[in-house]
Structure 1
Amino acid sequence: MNKNKDLIIGLISSPIAIPNKKQLFNLTKILSDISSHIYFITGNAGSDLLQDNKNADTYSITYNKVDNKLAKILGYIFLQIKISFIFLKIAKKANTWIFFHGSGTLLFPVFTAKILGKKIILMLPGSSKALKYSNDPFYPVVKILESINLKLSTNIIVYSSNLISEWGLSAYRKKILIAHEHFLDFDTFTITRKYSDRIDIVGYVGRLSEEKGILNLMQAIPDLILWNKKIRILIVGDGKLKNEIKSYLDEHQLNEYVNLIGWVHYNDLPNYLNLMKLLVLPSYSEGLPNVVLEAMACGTPVLTTPIGATLDIVKHNSTGFIMEENSSKCIAENIINAFNYPNIEQIIKNASNFVENEFSYENSVNVFEKTLNSIHESQKSNIKF
């Protein structure tokens, strides 16, 4: 990769948890290959991502989550102040600033960047709509902060043009660009068990939270058992709904059909994907779930709701399956239809070829490089003499 000597990037991400580390790792790797230097403000699980990179400076902040509402508000305000203080010290060192995780709500740092006349790129891995589906009490506040930051931004990067209307971004269409940080290691995510050798396992990988539709999937299990008593459900992930899911399984005597294994190390994920005959994503809101690509690379067909950037990847009866909505009845019917699909091997082949062509590291770097170059060219053309 040829580094652009004129491109010095500042990257700001809220402190992240381990499940979000892969997203941030991908982005830092891509930016490292196309820029001469990165000034990186983050914290928690993201702190060590660039520690061995001589062309990067990392400024780490520790953030502790709390349950008390007032403490949560005060803690987040203090976090923004700390990020803004670091930003003020290093703002002049970078000519482009990308805000990633937390970009919608980091009002203080974004406002500070605006005052200093910096190019502000908001890269949105998700939307405040996810909080709406989970009945989060902070949703109205987050929505307002997100709206302000969108207006203050120079450019906005989203994963798919589908997300412009889905996330209510039409008013900002002129400054929206399409790019992603997703890529796969195809030596790790590959087929190690033939589809015909797998038992009847339906899998789910992700947070156990309302916006993911995981409760709807649980409620579909009785209908699936009536259809096939040998079917098993494998749940990889953790979250606030874990106890509610356990209670539901106990109440309906479904424990023998469901295996809740919690989070697994990322390097172990291919082993679990190779056990599944179908991966189900019954989400209400998504950006571009990496697990869709990972499953396809492992020869596991994907069934998803018609949301987010997944529609660019999962084509019904071609590279996967799309269900109309995520009611329990609809989920059960579509799982049964997917298991009975007569040409499943062609689906697997199509999906595998698609991700290998579109989500190689080289392709993702090229897309991102073109996106940043277009931003810089646009800025130059707006300079008045």
Structure 2
Amino acid sequence: MDYKRYTHIGLITSPISLANRNQLANLASILYSISDSIFFITGNAGTNIFENDKKVHLYPVKYTIQKNTFLKIVAYMLLQFRISWKFLKIKDNAEVWIFFHGSGTLLIPILTAKLFRKKVILMLPGSSKALKYAKDPFYMVVKTLECINLLLADKIIIYSNILIGEWGLEKYHYKISIAHEHFLDFSTFSLTSEYKERQNLIGYVGRLSEEKGILNLIKAIPEIIKWNNNIKFLIIGDGKLRNEIEAYLIENDILDYVIFSGWVPHDELPKYFNQMKLMILPSYSEGLPNVILEAMACGTPVLATSVGAVPDFVKDGKTGFIIETNSPESIFRNITRAMESPILNEISTNTVLKVRSEFSYDSAVKNYERVLYSCY
């Protein structure tokens, strides 16, 4: 398909972890299709995206997360100056600069871009609210920086109109556009195991951290097993709560019901999704979790909290199930409701049709064509 083309586009992110690499790779791929060249500042797991492509000019930045609070602050300030210095070297190559992962706190690079009269697009894959639920000591600092950057940005991209109210963005409505970098490779993420033949396996995929609601899920497991002791749980991911979770399972003598896989390669996820009867994501805060869409593409119904853009795609009783709250009691009640649903097979079919119709590569590119057109 032919796309509208823009000469040069700048893309800046904080150094990312492996968990965010696929998201960034998707965005880079979209921009690749609608530009003659990309000037790309990123770091860590993002540095090998299109690394040998002459059309993508990569400027890597290294960053090591410090444990000591003072060193963490110093390291992050130095990171901002390093990103700004890289930008200064290449600033004349693009008029429009998209700030993606970590964009909410990249104040110095954004100020630098504005100083040189560049158009700044702030893309928010998430909100500082996630840090609040994670009980992060830097929550208020991040929130303040985010507010300043929202004021400075020429355009703000979010995943859904729902997020305008949920994230308190009403006063910026005049410069908000709706777009996302989500698209799926349906040759990889597809239904390969008949849904009705699957065992009673409930899956979770994500970080083991407070804002994901994983502790509440774990605390719901004893009651779920009392209700049906043929159910097993598969936890894919890792994080700082791993030891606390395992201690709780041992204390309640239910460790045998839970399988920990750690992080698995992204291209192996379909194998696991095709084993699940249900996937649950009981988060306190989200943007648009790619893992939900990937599970749905594999015919796995999703049970999720009504946060971020989730309600746009997970329709209760049609393409999945919505949890009213993520308390252990609510999780237990809704898992039983979902597993007992007489139309689970129908919902499985609906999930596949939903994502295939709305998350193709072409639709994602068209969204970004529209957003960028308004900036030129």
Which residue identity is paired with 2:192? T
The structural deviation recorded for 1:171 is 1.1
Structure 1 residue aligned with 2:204: 204
Structure 1 residue aligned with 2:67: 67
Distance 2:139 2:334 in 1: 32
The structural deviation recorded for 1:108 is 0.4
Pairing 1:348–2:370 present:
no
Distance 2:200 2:39 in 1: 48
Structure 1 residue aligned with 2:114: 114
Distance 1:360 1:185 in 2: 8
Pairwise mapping of residues 90-239 of structure 1 onto structure 2 (< 5 A)?
A: 90-239=90-239
Cα RMSD (Å): 0.9
Distance 1:248 1:358 in 2: 40
Distance 1:66 1:101 in 2: 19
Distance 1:18 1:92 in 2: 30
8 Å contact kept, 1:7–1:96: no
The structural deviation recorded for 1:254 is 1.1
Structure 1 residue aligned with 2:295: 295
The structural deviation recorded for 1:345 is 1.5
Query: Does the residue aligned with 1:220 lie in a helix, a strand or coil?
Result: helix
8 Å contact kept, 2:9–2:96: yes
Q: How many residues align?
A: 376
Query: Does the residue aligned with 1:215 lie in a helix, a strand or coil?
Result: helix
Which residue identity is paired with 1:240? K
Alignment TM-score, normalising by the size of structure 2: 0.99
Structure 2 residue aligned with 1:50: 50
Structure 2 residue aligned with 1:35: 35
Query: Does the residue aligned with 2:143 lie in a helix, a strand or coil?
Result: helix
Alignment TM-score, normalising by the size of structure 1: 0.96
Q: After superposition, give the CA deviation of every residue in 1:2-60 in whole Å (9 maximum; x if it has no partner).
A: 45554310000111111100000000000000011100000111001021222110000
Structure 1 residue aligned with 2:322: 322
Distance 2:138 2:209 in 1: 16
Query: Does the residue aligned with 1:10 lie in a helix, a strand or coil?
Result: strand
Would the alpha carbon gap of residues 4 and 92 (structure 1) be closer, same or farther in structure 2, given more than 3 Å must change? farther
Higher relative contact order (CA 8 A, sep 6+): 2
8 Å contact kept, 2:96–2:375: no
Which residue identity is paired with 1:43? G
Distance 1:6 1:180 in 2: 18
Segments of structure 1 that go 5 or more residues without pairing to the other structure are: 377-385
The structural deviation recorded for 1:351 is 1.2
Percent of pairs with identical residues: 56
4+ aligned runs moved over 3 Å, structure 1: 1-7
Which residue identity is paired with 1:201? L
Query: Does the residue aligned with 1:104 lie in a helix, a strand or coil?
Result: helix
Structure 2 residue aligned with 1:381: none
Distance 1:2 1:53 in 2: 20
Q: Give the stretch that moved more between structures: 341-350 or 181-190.
A: 341-350
The structural deviation recorded for 1:375 is 3.0
Structure 2 residue aligned with 1:307: 307
Segments of structure 2 that go 5 or more residues without pairing to the other structure are: none
Distance 2:244 2:71 in 1: 25
Q: Give the stretch that moved more between structures: 142-151 or 5-14.
A: 5-14
8 Å contact kept, 2:196–2:345: no
The structural deviation recorded for 1:344 is 1.2
